[in-house]
Structure 1
Amino acid sequence: MRRSEFDRAVADEFGPRASYVVGDLTLGGIGYRTARQAIADGVPPREVWLALCAEMDVPDSRRHGVGRLEPRRR
């Protein structure tokens, strides 16, 4: 997962709460840091996304493959 995919996934899942979830919520799965801190510290966005999903009880069906753009049609 790229950072841009992480950003899209967070925005799609959490809508107007996205900035709070990324900047204020501490996540035990990544050392009790915020998502923003963890990414700045070099934690892979995929790992941060999964920790965020676990903390916020996002269903498994919405955890994988999110944030990707649809392929361009030729």
Structure 2
Amino acid sequence: MRHTEFWVRMEQALGPSYARSWAGSFVMRELDGRTAQEAIDAGVPPKEVWLAVWRTLDLPASQK
């Protein structure tokens, strides 16, 4: 997964105006206590970050 696809999925899940805000403020234990943005910035693969977001938000399987 590319970074652009990650952000498209985030916007689909949370809306374009909230996705980046949420990604920069919501800390996830699954990402070692980092936000999605911090994990991306640290080099965690976007697919891994997306799966953590997907599980955290309890999104439907169709969005996996």
TM over 0.5, yes or no?
A: yes
Q: Which consecutive residues of structure 2, in runs of 5 or more, have no partner in the other structure?
A: none
TM-score when normalising by structure 2 = 0.89
Higher relative contact order (CA closer than 8 Å, sequence separation 6+): 1
How many residues of Structure 1 are paired with residues of Structure 2 in the alignment?
A: 63
Q: Which has the higher helix share?
A: 2
Q: Name the TM-score, length of structure 1 as normaliser.
A: 0.78
Q: Deviations over 1:1-44 (max 9, x none)?
A: 00000011101111032123211111111111000000110100
Give the gaps of 5 or more residues in structure 1: 64-74
Larger mean CA deviation between 35-44 and 11-20 belongs to: 11-20
What value does the CA root-mean-square deviation take over the aligned residues? 1.0
Which aligned segments of 4 or more residues in structure 1 are displaced greater than 4 angstroms?
Answer: none
1:4 aligns with 2:4: yes
Partner of residue 68, structure 1: none
